[in-house]
């Protein structure tokens, strides 16, 4: 059985309550950090753990923390990015729903490490149940003396607030999130300056994903070195994976990084194979923002080695500059799935969610969506395929935030690996009208 650090107690009745969470060893990390470690020692443990950001970029968490500016007399903030909206990603919602105190405990430990006295959990606006669950859990923790003034008599003060998000995918981009938290429209800022230097209200700020923050709890309990022993290479620890698509058992799984993709898909311990006895056609490993890979490349690298669930292995042979592990949104497509239709579906999402600040993204996502739409509905031309590649190249790397890249990669990779399927849509078009769109789009 694989080791569980975050979901070990997921099936314990009432684990969402403070009392049961505490009975299961909860809040030991707060006691250890606040009573026996200095903030710098907590940062050091996180550095030793090798933990990498679980929201999509895979940036080393300890390094990010050490970049935090500490000017005298200026407030510092920790903001948890709980704006989970990446298509195919639902692991943060799962954690917040079932074990909210794991996040709150991580927020206390992390805020202490960073010297923050006011911290925020910015939760996707649509997640009203989770917002209520977190607010109730915060009240419980405060009642028990783990939040507020003079926590556990250590002299450390922390107020923790839950902020409902703006209901837009772009608000999950850290600087757009900060704009939104400040009460403004969630438009990404130009980086640098990074939030570590000038973040919330212009003050030094760390923005971390829910899972990254929750992972600091086992890191402090067991020590960074122990955490670093789990996983493979620079992909240390465990990772929550949101598994969806044509799988026998979709759901949220906690894996040890380094698990072979083939085992994750087919083993009964995990997803149990492709549903209805079908064959695997393709996967995206990290939510809709990463390239799509055909079945053979999903399971094996070009040299025949097994592809592993790790930041390095998943990125090998792809062409994204970021990591293909992304936020861990693993989507499997069976042999009956139409790649053109799914690519159009992703494009539709990015066009809708583009904030419109940068022309390549604002215009390009719209172009890609329209061209994919006409291909899918049998009105495309052969030149449309190269047009899509051309537009995707003009978006990639030319926008303030990574939404443009995220929109471009699935399109470019789908054409790279499944060009014949796009050509088939031109050569043997099944002409139809999408009644949701009407003729105006042709
Ligand atoms: C200080 C420096 N800080 C980097 C910090 C930076 C940020 C982190 C990573 O994109 C990805 C994107 C999506 N001084 C620093 C520094 N930092 N250099 O490190 O930064 P970066 O720019 O590599 O990435 P990012 O802008 O945070 C995130 C991908 O995630 N993604 C999106 C998932 C979306 C969700 C969701 O719905 N919530 O999870 C999925 O793959 O495409 O590539 O904190 O400040 N010199």
Q: Pick the last residue of a domain from 229, 254, 270.
A: 229
The pLDDT-based confidence of 302 (bands split at 50, 70, 90) is confident
- Are residue 72 and residue 159 in the same domain, yes or no? yes
Residue nearest to atom 46 of ligand 1 (CA): 194
**What CATH number is associated with residue 215?**
3.40.50.11540
* 440 vs 412, more confident: 412
Structural domain includes residue 246: yes
Q: Tell me: the pLDDT tens digits for 194-250?
A: 999 999 999 999 999 999 999 999 999 999 999 999 999 999 999 999 999 999 999
- Counting atoms of ligand 1 from 1, which one is nearest the CA of 84? 38
Q: Tell me: the pLDDT tens digits for 307-345?
A: 999 999 998 876 555 568 999 999 999 999 999 999 999
Residue nearest to atom 38 of ligand 1 (CA): 84
Q: Tell me: the pLDDT tens digits for 262-277?
A: 999 999 999 999 999 9
Give one word for 82, left, alpha or beta, with left for phi > 0 and alpha for psi -120 to 50: alpha
Residue nearest to atom 39 of ligand 1 (CA): 55
Tell me how far the alpha carbon of residue 208 lies from the centroid of ligand 1, in angstroms.
9
314: Cβ contacts below 8 Å, ≥ 6 apart: 261, 285, 286, 307, 308, 323, 324, 325
Tell me how far the alpha carbon of residue 152 lies from the centroid of ligand 1, in angstroms.
34
pLDDT at 440: 43
For ligand 1, mutation pick of 57, 123, 209, 311 (most atoms within 8 Å of CB):
57
- Are residue 213 and residue 254 in the same domain, yes or no? no
- Cα separation, 128 vs 24, whole angstroms: 27
- Are residue 221 and residue 241 in the same domain, yes or no? no
- Are residue 126 and residue 203 in the same domain, yes or no? yes
User: Mean of the pLDDT values across residues 119-145?
Assistant: 98
341: Cβ contacts below 8 Å, ≥ 6 apart: 376
- Are residue 225 and residue 371 in the same domain, yes or no? no
- Cα separation, 186 vs 174, whole angstroms: 10
- Are residue 37 and residue 140 in the same domain, yes or no? yes
Q: pLDDT at residue 436 above 60?
A: no
Q: How do strand 118-123 and strand 205-209 relate by DSSP bridges?
A: unpaired
pLDDT at 442: 41
- Cα separation, 114 vs 397, whole angstroms: 32
Q: pLDDT at residue 288 above 90?
A: no
Structural domain includes residue 11: no
User: Mean of the pLDDT values across residues 243-262?
Assistant: 98
Structural domain includes residue 179: yes
- Counting atoms of ligand 1 from 1, which one is nearest the CA of 324? 41
Structural domain includes residue 116: yes
Q: Any idea what the Cα angle at residue 115 is, between residues 56 and 61, rounded to 5°?
A: 20
Count the domains in the chain.
Answer: 3
Tell me how far the alpha carbon of residue 418 lies from the centroid of ligand 1, in angstroms.
29
- Are residue 221 and residue 351 in the same domain, yes or no? no
Which residue range is the domain that position 389 belongs to?
339-441
Ligand 1 pocket by Cβ (under 6 Å): 53, 55-57, 59, 64, 67, 83-86, 89, 172, 174, 194-196, 207, 286-287, 289-290, 322, 326-327, 402, 406
Rounded to the nearest angstrom, the gap between the alpha carbon of residue 420 and the centroid of all alpha carbons in its chain is: 31
Structural domain includes residue 6: no
Structural domain includes residue 113: yes
Percentage of the chain beyond pLDDT 70 is 96
H or E stretch at 339: helix 339-353
pLDDT at 237: 98
Structural domain includes residue 391: yes
Tell me how far the alpha carbon of residue 211 lies from the centroid of ligand 1, in angstroms.
14
Q: Pick the last residue of a domain from 306, 334, 362.
A: 334
- Are residue 224 and residue 238 in the same domain, yes or no? no
- Are residue 249 and residue 191 in the same domain, yes or no? no
- Counting atoms of ligand 1 from 1, which one is nearest the CA of 55? 39
- Are residue 186 and residue 51 in the same domain, yes or no? yes
Q: Pick the last residue of a domain from 315, 334, 353.
A: 334
**What CATH number is associated with residue 411?**
1.20.1440.230
- Are residue 97 and residue 214 in the same domain, yes or no? yes
Tell me how far the alpha carbon of residue 199 lies from the centroid of ligand 1, in angstroms.
14
Structural domain includes residue 3: no
- Are residue 72 and residue 133 in the same domain, yes or no? yes
CB 156 within 8 A of CB 169: no
The ipTM estimated for the assembled molecules is: 0.95
User: Mean of the pLDDT values across residues 133-156?
Assistant: 98
């Amino acid at each position: 059985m694989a080791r569980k650090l975050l979901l070990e107690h997921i099936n314990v009745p009432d684990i969402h309550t403070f009392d049961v969470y505490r009975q299961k060893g909860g809040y030991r990390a707060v006691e250890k950090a606040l009573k026996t470690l200095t903030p710098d020692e907590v940062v050091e443990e996180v550095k030793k753990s090798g933990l990498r950001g679980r929201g999509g970029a895979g940036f080393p968490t300890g390094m990010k923390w050490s970049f935090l500016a500490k000017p005298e007399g200026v407030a510092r903030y920790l903001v948890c990015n709980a704006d989970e909206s990446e298509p195919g990603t639902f692991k943060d919602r799962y954690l917040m729903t079932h074990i909210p105190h794991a996040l709150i405990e991580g927020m206390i430990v992390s805020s202490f490490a960073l010297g923050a006295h006011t911290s925020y959990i910015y939760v996707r606006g649509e997640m009203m149940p989770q917002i209520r669950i977190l607010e109730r859990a915060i009240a419980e923790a405060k009642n028990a003396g783990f939040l507020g003034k003079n926590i556990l008599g250590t002299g450390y003060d922390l107020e923790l607030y839950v902020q409902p998000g703006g209901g837009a995918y772009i608000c999950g981009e850290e600087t757009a999130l900060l704009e939104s938290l400040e009460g403004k429209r969630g438009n990404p800022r130009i980086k640098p300056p990074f939030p570590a230097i000038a973040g919330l209200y212009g003050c030094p700020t760390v923005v971390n994903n829910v899972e990254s923050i929750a992972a600091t709890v086992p890191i402090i309990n067991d020590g960074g070195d122990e955490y670093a022993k789990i996983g493979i290479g620079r992909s240390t620890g465990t990772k929550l994976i949101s598994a969806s698509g044509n799988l026998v058992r979709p759901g949220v799984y906690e894996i040890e990084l380094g698990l072979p993709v083939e085992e994750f898909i087919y083993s009964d311990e995990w997803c149990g194979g492709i549903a209805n006895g079908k064959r695997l056609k393709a996967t995206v490993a990290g939510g809709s923002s990463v390239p799509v890979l055909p079945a053979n490349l999903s399971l094996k690298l070009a040299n025949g080695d097994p592809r592993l669930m790790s930041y390095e292995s998943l990125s090998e042979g792809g062409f994204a500059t970021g990591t293909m592990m992304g936020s861990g949104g693993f989507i499997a497509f069976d042999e009956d799935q139409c790649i053109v239709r799914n690519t159009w579906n992703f494009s539709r999402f990015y066009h809708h969610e583009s904030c419109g600040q940068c022309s390549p993204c604002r215009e390009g996502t719209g172009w890609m969506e329209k061209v994919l739409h006409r291909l899918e509905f049998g009105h495309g031309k052969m030149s449309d395929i190269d047009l899509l590649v051309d537009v995707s190249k003009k978006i990639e790397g030319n926008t303030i935030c990574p939404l443009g890249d995220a929109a471009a990669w699935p399109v470019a990779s789908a054409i790279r690996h499944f060009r014949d399927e796009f050509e088939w849509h031109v050569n043997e078009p099944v002409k139809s009208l999408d009644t949701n769109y009407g003729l105006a789009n042709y």
